[in-house]
Amino acid sequence: MIPYFAWTSIVIGPLTLQVWGLFIGLGFLFAAVMAGKLAKRRGLDASIIYDLTVWMVLAGMIGGRLGHVLFYAFPYYLANPLEIFAIWHGGLSMFGGLIACVIVGLLFLRRRKVDVWQYVDVAVYGLPFGIMIGRIGCFLIHDHPGTATHFFLGVQYPSNVVRHDYGLYEMLNGAGMAVAFIWLAHKKAKTGTFIGVFSLWYGLFRLLTDGGRLVDVRYLGLTPGQYLGAILAIIGLWLLWITKMRKKEKVLR
């Protein structure tokens, strides 16, 4: 059992920083650094990854907010439209941000006239590191409480009920995926591997775990994250199959 402790904001003079936002920013930064290192090892231009990250931050924040509004609390925001812009109150969807990042990232890379497949694979390599750091903020503010549990990683909330904390689980999942990606990079995984593995791994993780979240809205018994997780996992299987077929084509040639 983990004792409950919360850290929501940092006050520096007249400035108040939201802890969850700070760790999201640090997550983007760490993801860019790790992806840039892999780009250099693969002989790619790391500066393109860093430029891409700037657009990913903007797309992730806007898409994450819209995803939260549309998928998780649409009736509330329909009645309180100005709250859509109150991002300091929290409320970002990982999947909403991911969808926006994919769209903006593909447009950016096409305009730069580079090998999109290679650069996307390198960018995705950085995602687990970003999730690992970014989700620390979710754990510190405890915005993803789960059902009661006797699991040793359960958090004892102020109500004296020990609950699953999905911010913690997301952080640990990101850390595990980051270790796996480091190993795959060491093994010189083929281009496309990181895209496929991330999609399958993260999609299955959300599909299997989101059902325990207390505050998430349900549609026909499943959360938006479970539906989107299932779609992402299927895409991951398809991408891994494409990567395998490309490898076979190179061998035949």
The per-residue DSSP string of 21-76 comes to HHHHHHHHHHHHHHHHHHHHHTT--HHHHHHHHHHHHHHHHHHHHHHIIIII-HHH
pTM over 0.75: yes
Binning pLDDT at 50, 70 and 90, where does residue 247 land? low
Question: pLDDT for 84-134, tens place per residue?
Answer: 888 777 788 989 999 999 999 999 999 999 999 999 999 999 999 999 999
| Nearby residues of 192 by Cβ (< 8 Å), 6 or more positions away | 117, 121, 239, 240, 242, 243, 246
What is the rounded radius of gyration, in angstroms, for the C-alpha atoms of the chain?
Answer: 19
- Look at residue 246 and tell me whether its pLDDT is greater than 80: no
Q: Give 51 or 72, the one with higher predicted confidence.
A: 51
Question: pLDDT for 56-88, tens place per residue?
Answer: 999 999 999 999 999 888 888 999 898 888 877
CB 213 within 8 A of CB 146: yes
- As a whole number of angstroms, the distance between CA 52 and CA 92 comes to 20
